């Protein structure tokens, strides 16, 4: 380190031919200018704090599979079972909830606008849970809801069956098939939230909206009545989102209201979820 000194000759007495400067052994310096420190440390840190973090908002499609495998489901069936008096009607027919034959036959708006609403949360606690995604599944007639070839006259093949013969159910089909209702078959979520060997769990709460009567019916995963303190756990159906090296999948967790077709004997892979009107003690 170099030190510079400025000497004023006018301070010396006249006739002086020499002088000396005393330099101490320890030299202590005083910081006069902190601009470099401020620029490189303080300013950069504050700029970084002011910049919003980069968030990955890209969503990916999760495919439904048989539990414990990556075998894709062909259909997912939601059966809606409504309470009549003190008895759950299982299966519930459209005639049980106010629909008549003409509503079904002509597929009136009160039939087509009735739907099943599936809300997926990250937790079962109503005070802390966040809504992750939702699905609306509208009423739709399937081939099983219509008369087939060989129906007795004057019934025309393809004509809808009476309202008391059609169950309140919603069937979601694999979009790779040629027909069916596809909306809601997949679940969409942020890919960054699901890592390999780190599954994510969602909790589905279902509600049925009846456009004929205007009633909104909350559903749960059990047909039995429960006290309020135990009812919350029975309200949700658990879904597991996971991924591996081949893709993104989801399965419906093992529960009393969920059943799968036998993967070894049935060429059609189905999952059935039974939903029941909430009963509280």
**In the chain, what are the domain boundaries?**
9-50, 60-277
**Predicted local confidence at residue 5, as pLDDT:** 67
**Predicted local confidence at residue 265, as pLDDT:** 67
Question: Cα(75)–Cα(93) distance, rounded to whole angstroms?
Answer: 21
User: HSE on the CB side for 32, CA within 13 Å?
Assistant: 2
**Predicted local confidence at residue 22, as pLDDT:** 66
**Contact in structure between 257 and 205 (CB atoms under 8 Å):** no
**Predicted local confidence at residue 197, as pLDDT:** 85
Residues of the chain with pLDDT under 50: none
**Contact in structure between 174 and 61 (CB atoms under 8 Å):** no
**Predicted local confidence at residue 52, as pLDDT:** 76
Q: DSSP letter at 123? A: -
**Predicted local confidence at residue 202, as pLDDT:** 95
**Predicted local confidence at residue 2, as pLDDT:** 62
What SS3 state is found at 274? strand
- What's the pTM value of the predicted model, to 2 decimals? 0.77
The number of helices, as runs of H, and strands, as runs of E, in the chain is 5, 13
**Predicted local confidence at residue 80, as pLDDT:** 96
Residue 267, both tokens? 């060429």
């Amino acid at each position: 380190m170099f030190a510079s000194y400025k000497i004023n000759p006018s301070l010396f007495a006249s006739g002086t031919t020499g002088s000396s400067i005393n330099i101490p052994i320890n030299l202590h310096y005083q910081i006069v200018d902190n601009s470099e420190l401020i620029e490189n440390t303080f300013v950069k840190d504050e700029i970084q704090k002011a910049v919003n973090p980069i968030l990955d908002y890209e969503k990916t499609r999760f495919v439904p599979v048989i539990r414990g495998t990556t075998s894709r489901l062909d259909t997912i069936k939601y059966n809606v079972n409504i309470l009549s008096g003190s008895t759950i009607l299982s299966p519930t027919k459209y005639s049980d909830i106010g629909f008549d034959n003409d509503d079904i036959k002509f597929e009136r708006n009160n039939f087509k606008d009735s739907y099943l609403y599936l809300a997926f949360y990250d937790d079962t606690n109503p005070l802390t849970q966040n809504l992750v995604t939702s699905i609306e599944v509208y009423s739709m007639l399937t081939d099983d809801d219509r008369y087939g070839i060989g129906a007795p006259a004057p019934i025309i093949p393809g004509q809808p069956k009476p309202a008391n013969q059609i169950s309140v159910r919603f069937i979601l089909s694999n979009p790779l098939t040629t027909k069916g209702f596809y909306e809601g078959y997949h679940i969409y979520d942020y890919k960054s939230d699901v890592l390999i060997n780190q599954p994510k769990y969602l909790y589905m709460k279902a509600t049925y909206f009846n456009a004929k009567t205007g009633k909104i019916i909350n559903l749960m995963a059990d047909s039995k009545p429960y006290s309020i303190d135990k009812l919350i756990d029975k309200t949700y159906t658990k879904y597991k989102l996971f991924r591996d090296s081949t893709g993104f999948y989801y399965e419906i967790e093992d529960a009393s209201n969920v059943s799968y077709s036998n993967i070894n004997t049935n060429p059609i892979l189905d999952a059935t979820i039974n939903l029941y009107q909430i009963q509280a003690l």
